[in-house]
Amino acid sequence: MSKKQLFTLEYPVRCSPSILYEFLSTPAGLQEWFADKVDERDNVFSFSWNGSTDRADVMESEVEKYIRFHWQHAPQEEFFEFRIEKSEVTNQTILVIKDFANKTEIKDQSQLWSYQVKDLFHRLGN
């Protein structure tokens, strides 16, 4: 059993779910903000940063709703997920990120995600 804990981050975003989903679920979209290079074959994504590559399987997805990845090197119960929700109050699109980290690393991981999402928002014109 993994010692890592699930944590959730939410970011309001000003764009349509269909545009956002493209940035979360396609190699071209993910390469814009998440990794230096992204390739996909048979639902396996290869993410490259600074010359090192990590692979993740798509566990499940629903167009314009969510995509869940599993790092091939990680315990089976761990994943990271991008989910697109709508605020019932403001009707605003919300990007929800779920990921796993050691309790002592959640703050650092959250800051890393915030940095990445800031880059995503820049690409989206937010």
Give pLDDT, residue 54.
97
pTM of the model: 0.94
User: For residue 79, which of 100, 97, 60 has the smallest C-alpha distance?
Assistant: 100
Pinpoint the alpha helices (H) of the chain.
Answer: 17-25, 27-33, 106-124
Residue 126: pLDDT band (50, 70, 90) is confident
- Cβ(10)–Cβ(86) below 8 Å: no
- Annotation: CATH topology of 5-121: Alpha-D-Glucose-1,6-Bisphosphate; Chain A, domain 4 (3.30.530)
pLDDT, tens digit, for every residue of 2-41? 589 999 999 999 999 999 999 999 999 999 999 999 999 9
